[in-house]
Amino acid sequence: MNLILLGAPGAGKGTQAEIISKKFDIQHISTGEILRDEIKKKSKLGEKAIKFVESGKLVPDEIIIEIIKKIIGSRAKNGFLMDGFPRNLKQAKMFLKVLDQLGIKLDRVINIIVDNNEVIERLSTRRTCSVCNNVFSVDSDEDNTECPKCRSKSIKRKDDDPEVIEHRLEVYEKESRPLTDFYTGEGLLVNIDGSGNEKEITERILKFL
């Protein structure tokens, strides 16, 4: 099964992608996660990407397209779930072309819808474990919170700072929102209410899979 998850930053794509990809044993591909790993490793790709990622801008399409071509051609044999890709129409059109060349069909595009105020609240209290990458939320905006899973130190992503969040939401509206019309036109889009707890949202998604 080949899926794309769409939604604003903080809509819960990462959490749902983990759950759904495990359930169907398909590969979870998060371009944001790949870029953050490259930045951590200080690789050439990471060095090119860091200024875009930390300021909430989109990384240039050419860089993203190369990453995706490599992964789709080599690793995603059993199907995939894209999280954070495509982010604009150019990427979406290129992706359809690449899939077509490989004889791969997209099954569904799931669009998780969450109110902007809720997104801002979720992102400003979001923390990521520096060791196991667990993503969780904290009650107040304090630093140095322990990961509830492995007790290691957690970090706040630089792009979850309030000014950057605002910019990411603007980028989402301008660049990524048009994807919903594009995939509606392809007959692939399903809209999911992203309010409520993780389990409720997963159940809503599963009804379409």
Among residues 36, 87, 122, 156, the one annotated as catalytic is 87
Minimal distance in Å, beta carbon 31 to ligand AMP? 3
Q: How far apart are CA 162 and CA 77, in angstroms?
A: 39
Q: Catalytic site residue 122?
A: no
How would you write 96-124 as a 3-class SS string? HHHHHHHCCCCCEEEEEECCHHHHHHHHH
Minimal distance in Å, beta carbon 177 to ligand AMP? 14
Cα separation values, 108 from 44, 73, 169, 173, 186, Å: 34, 20, 24, 21, 10
Among residues 122, 127, 156, 168, the one annotated as catalytic is 168
CB-based contacts of 167, cutoff 8 Å, min separation 6: 55, 56, 57
Minimal distance in Å, beta carbon 75 to ligand AMP? 17
Q: Catalytic site residue 127?
A: no
When the beta carbons of 126 and 204 are compared against ligand AMP, the nearer one is 126
Minimal distance in Å, beta carbon 86 to ligand AMP? 6
Q: Is 93 helix (H, G, I), strand (E, B) or coil?
A: helix
- Radius of gyration for the alpha carbons in the chain, expressed in angstroms and rounded: 17
Among residues 122, 127, 156, 157, the one annotated as catalytic is 157
Q: Catalytic site residue 108?
A: no
Q: Catalytic site residue 168?
A: yes
When the beta carbons of 57 and 108 are compared against ligand AMP, the nearer one is 57
When the beta carbons of 20 and 159 are compared against ligand AMP, the nearer one is 159
When the beta carbons of 52 and 136 are compared against ligand AMP, the nearer one is 52
